[in-house]
Structure 1
Amino acid sequence: MATPPSSVAAAVRHFTVDGESAGQRLDNYLVRELKGVPKTHIYRIIRSGEVRVNKGRAQADTRVQDGDQIRVPPIRLSERAEQKAQQPAPARQFPVLFDDAALLAIDKPAGVAVHGGSGVSFGVIEQLRQALPAAPLLELVHRLDRETSGILLVAKKKSALRALQDQFRERETDKTYLALVKGVWPARQKVLDWPLHKYLLPDGERRVRVTGADDPDGMRSITLVRVVGAVAPPVGWPAAAEQAFTLLAVTIKTGRTHQIRVHLSHAGHPILGDDKYGDFELNRLLQRHGLKRMFLHAWQLGFTHPSLQTPVQLQADLPPELKGWGGVARVL
C-alpha cells in the first residue's frame, strides 16, 4: 500500500477580526487568512456550519465586524501545499488610473485573479502589497472576474473601504462595461431585469442561472444595455460561421456574481470567449482567429470620493488585444 503524503498537523484555528478587516465578507476574509486552502474547501466548511462567528453559524456573505471571533475547524494541507502557501507573492504594480491617500484605482489585466484562492496562489491584492510595503492598508473594494480586465478599486484606509463598499452595496456607483456579444443585439432591448440564482457544481465551482420571480433564493438583478455598434469579424473569418457581433456598453445596477455574463447569455447573445456561459463552438473558432480571452472589460466607473465627497469618474480604455480584434476599433 502506498504511503499517504505527509501533512501538516491540523488544529482548530481562531481569528479575531481587526478594524481593518471590518465590513469584509466572511468568505473573502477567510481566503486571505487561510493561505493555501482552496476556495472550494472554504465554501464547503462555511456551508457545513463548521465555521463559527461569535459561536454561531454564518453564511459566506456575512459581513465580519471589528472584534468578531471566528472559529475554523482543522484543515489538513500537504507539506508541499503549506510551503507553497508560505511563499510571498511576487511584487507587481499595475497601470494606475487614480491614486491618493484614500484609494488606488488600477487597470487590471485579464488573466489575473483579484486575490488568491481556489487554486490560485496569489492575485492582484497580494502582489500590490508586496510592491507597496509602506502602505498601511490595501484592501479590495470590489471584485472582477479573473478573465475580466479594467477598473479595480483598492482602499488605502479603513474609512475609505467602508464608505466605498457602502456605495457599491447601496447602488450609488455607476459601473459600465464593454462587452462584445454574438449576434445582432435588438436596440430596443435596454433593460434586463431577471433574478439570478447561485449554485455549485459537484466540484464546488460557482455557477449562476436566471431563475423565476418565485424562487426564494433568487436575487433581483438589473442590467442596462446600450448598443455601441456592429462589429465585423476579422479578415479570414469563415463565411459559414457566425458573422454578426455587437459591441455593448453594459451598466449594472446590481452587482451579482457573473451578472453580465449570465444576463447576456440568457438573452441569446453570449459574450465572446466566455468559457462558462458562452457559445463553446464559437469560442474555439475565436481562439483560432486571435481572440484568446473573454471580451468583457470594466470600462467606466463613477463614485463619490470617500474623503472629499466629490464625484470621481474613471475610464480604462480597451486593451490592445480587444480593441484590435475584428472591427472593434471602428465603432469606438
Structure 2
Amino acid sequence: MTDIRKDSVTFITVDENGADQRLDNYLTRLLKGVPKSHIYRIIRSGEIRVNKGRADAMQRLQQGDELRIPPIRLAAKATDGQVVPGANFPIVYEDEALLVINKPAGVAVHGGSGVSFGVIEQLRKARPDARYLELVHRLDRETSGLLMIAKKRSALVKLHEMIRNDVPQKRYFALALGQWPDKIRHVKLPLHRFHTPSGERMVRVDESLGIYAHTIFTVQQRYRDFTLLEALLRTGRTHQIRVHMQANGCPIAGDEKYGDFSANRELQRHGLKRMFLHAANLVLPHPLTGEELQLQAPLPPELTRFLDTLPQS
C-alpha cells in the first residue's frame, strides 16, 4: 500500500484496481480516515492533480494515470485508541484475484456499530503489502463459514454483478428448533428491513413493503426436538434464513435476535453458546477466468459436538 505523506506531496500511479473509478471514490478508499468534505475541498482547490492537470470529482481514472496528492494527515485507523491486531483466518481458496476464508463465529466482518474492527481490518493489518482487499459480501457476526474477499477491483465488480443476478449458489447448515414440516420446502416470503426505536436493525416478513426473498430448505437430519436443515439461498437478503425459519415456526437454535430466548438459555446450559448457522458450501464461476469453483467449509467442532449430544427422532 502507498504511504501518504503528511509533510510533502505524494505521487501515485493508478493501477488496475483504480481503473474506471471516479476520482472522489478512489480517494475515499485511498485516504481512509480523511473526511469526505476535506477530500472534495482539495479536489475543488486544485491540490489534487491528475496527469499534472486539475480534475473534477466525477472524473473517471484510467490505469497509468498519475495523481498528485498534497500533504495529508491521516486519522488513526482504530477507534478509542484500540490497535487493530493482524489476524489470519483459515484459507479455503486463494489466488491473485480472490480470497475465501472460513470465518469463525463471534467475529464481525468489518468495524462499525460499536465494533472497532473486524475481519477485513485484521486481514489488511496482517497483509500490509496487499494492494487491494475488499469484502465481497457479509456474514452476520454469529454466523461462521465461507466469506469472500476480493484482491482485485475487477474481481469485486464481477462478483457484485454475479450477486445481483443471484449466480452464486450459497448453502448453509442451520439447526431449527422443533420439527420442520417438509423434507423440502420452498419459502418465498418478502422481507422488509427496519430499525427499532433503539436503533437496532431488524427484518420482518412484510407483504406490502417487503422485497422478494426465496430460500429452499432441505431436511438433513431429524432429532427429537430439532431439525438440521440445509438452506439454499435463491436470493440474498439481510437475515433471510433467520427470518424465513422464524416465520415457519422453527427459529434457529441460539439466534438471539429472532429465536426463542428461553430455549436459547437452556441450550447454553447444554453447550450451544452461539447461533447454529454456518455458511458451508459455495459454488460460482471464478470472477476472472469463469472456471467453476466449488468451495466447502465443514461444520465447526463446537457445532458437531452439540449435534452428537442430541437424541435422534
CA–CA distance in 2 between the matches of 1:144 and 1:20?
28
Counterpart secondary structure, 2:227: strand
- CA change 1:265–1:318 in 2 (3 A) is same
CA–CA distance in 1 between the matches of 2:219 and 2:233?
15
- 5+ long unaligned stretches in structure 1: 1-17, 38-65, 70-80, 232-242
Residue-by-residue CA offset, 1:264-285 (whole Å, 9 max, x unaligned): 0010000000000000010000
CA–CA distance in 1 between the matches of 2:114 and 2:33?
13
Partner in structure 1 of residue 92 of structure 2 = 97
C-alpha RMSD of the superposition:
2.9
Residue 144 of structure 2 contacts residue 279 of structure 2 at CA under 8 Å; is this kept in 1? Answer: yes
- CA change 1:229–1:67 in 2 (3 A) is farther
Amino acid at match of 2:289: L
Give the Å deviation of 1:186: 1.4
Where in structure 2 are the equivalents of 1:85-234 lying within 5 Å? Answer: 85=80, 87-188=82-183, 190-212=185-207, 215=208, 217-231=209-223
Partner in structure 2 of residue 278 of structure 1 = 259
CA–CA distance in 2 between the matches of 1:127 and 1:82?
11
- 5+ long unaligned stretches in structure 2: 1-16, 36-55, 60-75
- CA change 1:158–1:83 in 2 (3 A) is closer
Give the Å deviation of 1:307: 1.4
CA–CA distance in 2 between the matches of 1:156 and 1:82?
20
TM-score, normalising length: structure 2: 0.75
Percent of pairs with identical residues: 51
> What number of residue pairs does the alignment pair up?
255
Give the Å deviation of 1:188: 4.8
- CA change 1:34–1:190 in 2 (3 A) is farther
Return the match for 1:316 from 297, 300, 303. 297
CA–CA distance in 2 between the matches of 1:67 and 1:261?
41
Partner in structure 2 of residue 13 of structure 1 = none
CA–CA distance in 1 between the matches of 2:95 and 2:189?
38
CA–CA distance in 1 between the matches of 2:289 and 2:133?
19
